[in-house]
Amino acid sequence: MVISKDEIKTLTSARCALPHDLLGMHKCRGGIVVRAYLRDAKTCTLVDLRDEEKARKPMKKLDESGLFEIFIKGARKIFPYRLRTRRYNGEIRQFYDPYSFLPTLSDEDLYLIGAGKDRKIYEKLGSHPRTVGGISGVSFAVWAPTARRVSVVGDFNGWDGRYHQMRALGRSGIWEIFIPGVEPGAKYKYEILAANNDTPFLKIDPYAVRFEAPPYNSSIVCDLAGYEWKDAQWLEARAKTDWSRRPISVYEVHLGSWKRVPEDGFRPLSYVEIGRQLAEYCTEMGFTHVEFMPLSEYPFEGSWGYQVTGFYAPTNRYGTPREFMEMIDTLHQNGIGVIMDWVPAHFPRDSFALAGYDGSCLYEHQDPRLGTNPDWGTLCFNYGRNEVSNFLMGSALAWFDRFHIDGLRVDAVASMLYLNFSRRDWIPNKYGGSENLEAINFIKNTTDTVHEEFRGSLMIAEESTTFRGVTAPTSDGGLGFDLKWNLGWMHDTLDYFKEDPINRKYHHNKMTFPSMYQFTEKFMLVYSHDEVVHGKSPMVGKMGGAYWGDKIANLRALYAYMWMWPGKKTLFMGDEIAQGHEWRYDESLEWSLLQYAEHEGVKNVVRDVANLYKNDDSLAANDFNPIGFEWINADDGNNSVFTFLRFCENGKTAYAVACNFTPIERKSYPIGLPRMGKWEEVINTDAKCYGGGGRGNSGFIVAEKASVNNRKYGAFALLPPMSTIIFKNETPDSV
């Protein structure tokens, strides 16, 4: 026996931080020693691959748990070998020794990860099917710097932490092992022995691409190679696109409740099914993008995906990662972009995931004044730690790289930006301020990196404060986002519309105030899922008015107004059909409502106004240009009428929008216009095809010389009750 009793104990008690120093083949005084630690092995033989038939050497069993050793006296050179075991059930296996392989991570890899600068960290950490020296297997690597020991446990080793103890790679905090013979589909976790606790515990792989369904939540080895993408044309066009000048109408979707299959137990649609159906629906409706509520793996259905445990993995609920790829591929082939909700602001406390990962506060701050989010009962990332920021940035990049997504809608940005967000007890930054400097630096680095690596990508901020420069370039001191959700506009418009029409004149400023700050950021107008849950009522229920017909008419008028107001657009699923009840994450939308003309009419308004916006590129090109918007009359509060102009970039096309948000018909209503001639009535939300009363202007109005609203030209229009009318003119400016 060459190994000491103390060394045997470190292996058999799973207390070894450097198992590769003891196991495998090593030169020693007088020859070579080989050791193997094998589960359920009755005998073990060393097979010299230089002569497999003749050079078989039985190894001595040092411990009943499966520790074997052989000393080859006089041998001087390391040689290739395999291990041949006979199990207690008589089965014979021959395989390569995991402890005969060099690390799969280089010194440069360790440096970049430690510095937080590895843009391909997801190809280094986690589990990866590889071929090393012609031998196939899986490499495992995990960051757990304070752990005393880390093992890979899985269905390939009986979930026993003694048998695949990993090696610590210097001071990097990274543990690594290559296990030959393991194949995609294998389930695994990491068994960790913390610094100050003698009881090992199990954790998932933070970098895993696939997970087992709860309650087991095992990581699953996944091979993403070999999928044949068919979206090259889309990606090539995206790389050349300046989305600030293009139409963006986003359909926000919760995949599990968009549609269900009643004939199959009301199950949700799969990735493949929803890809085909959403592509067809969005094409019809004029939506340019789909935004999925978080599809990163999460354990609790009721979190809607916003409490993530698998930051690199599409949730198993709707299919495999390859099927997730197919969904995105299908949408791209049909001209629909894909945006994912991404949640780098916090993570849940589930014991199997990131919380207290290696027995220490690794991903979270140790001080609860920094490390907890009181609103959601979750933990906050420590952005000042290089490996943590690299983990999150790598997650963002991996969704673009592996899965070809087109954008990330970053959730809860305000909670990242401020140290005192929802906290009574908080710690100021080094300058005494409330800004989270580490989080701000992380955001800037991530937006810049995503834009550098994936041209034409979109980074969208859900940011609810007045933080300056959210959509300004980082070179100008901004955060570098492409778009910011305009939550102020959302709240103001809904506060206005919830009023009974007779009272709206007292709240007229709610609708005009957003124009004061409209061009301070690149805003996206949004009615999201947050507005139709937790007792807030569905969109149609928010509308003021005594009768159902008035509420429906209000909703039609609101959506047409929304699409003509400057900015990009996002609408939550079900809002377009005037869903009758609040959104329920575990049920399908009420598609049966479309049998009623009122509901189909709302859908048709959204379809027509979204297609109008989508098909006129020159209108969207001025979404962020102040010269593209003018009030005609913002001051008619007594009548609750709003009129404004949208100018297209081409200098030829202009739109006049007239909104009458009372149940009173306005006859011969004066509208000042910048041009003489015919203005075509292209959308009238009171049209019969939308379920309205059919009142209007016989298809057009004519602007003549007249002093109206301090303009040289004017027309007199009929404004139906509770309506928005859009007029279009394509003549040059009058002189």
In the numeric block, which tokens belong to residue 602?
């709302």
Q: Which residues contact 315 (CB under 8 A, 6 or more apart)?
A: 211, 295, 296, 297, 298, 305
Q: Which of 484, 475, 469 has the alpha carbon at shortest distance from 410?
A: 484
Q: How far apart are CA 221 and CA 183, in angstroms?
A: 7
Q: How far apart are CA 540 and CA 535, in angstroms?
A: 13
Residue 319: left if φ>0, alpha if ψ -120 to 50, beta else—which one? left
Q: Which residues contact 461 (CB under 8 A, 6 or more apart)?
A: 410, 413, 470, 471, 479, 481, 483, 484, 485
Q: Which of 462, 636, 681, 686 is catalytic?
A: 462
Helices (H) and strands (E) in the chain, counts: 15, 38
Q: Which of 9, 34, 31, 32 has the alpha carbon at shortest distance from 20?
A: 34
Which one-letter amino acid corresponds to residue 110? L
Place of tokens 């303009």: 711
Q: How far apart are CA 562 and CA 605, in angstroms?
A: 11
Q: How far apart are CA 576 and CA 583, in angstroms?
A: 13
SS (H, E, C) 595-609: HCHHHHHHHHHHHHH
In the numeric block, which tokens belong to residue 248?
């963006």
Whether the CB-CB separation of 586 and 301 falls below 8 Å is answered with yes
Q: Could you confirm whether 223 is annotated as catalytic?
A: no
User: Rounded to whole angstroms, what are the CA distances from 286 to 250, 405, 599, 671?
Assistant: 9, 20, 18, 29
Instruction: Count CA within 13 A, CB hemisphere, residue 727.
Output: 33
Q: How far apart are CA 207 and CA 205, in angstroms?
A: 5
To 5 degrees, how large is the angle CA 94–CA 151–CA 65?
A: 55
Q: From the centroid of its chain, how far is CA 106?
A: 30
Q: Which H or E element spans position 92?
A: strand 92-95
Q: How far apart are CA 346 and CA 298, in angstroms?
A: 13
Q: Could you confirm whether 411 is annotated as catalytic?
A: yes
Q: How far apart are CA 525 and CA 531, in angstroms?
A: 13
Instruction: Count CA within 13 A, CB hemisphere, residue 654.
Output: 24
Q: Which of 411, 438, 482, 608 is catalytic?
A: 411
Q: What is the CA radius of gyration of the chain?
A: 31
Bridging pattern class, strands 483-485 and 523-527: parallel
State the CB neighbour count (10 A cutoff) for residue 33: 20
- DSSP for 204-220 reads --TT-S-BPPTTT--EE
Q: How far apart are CA 16 and CA 167, in angstroms?
A: 8
Could you give the residue numbers annotated as active site?
411, 462
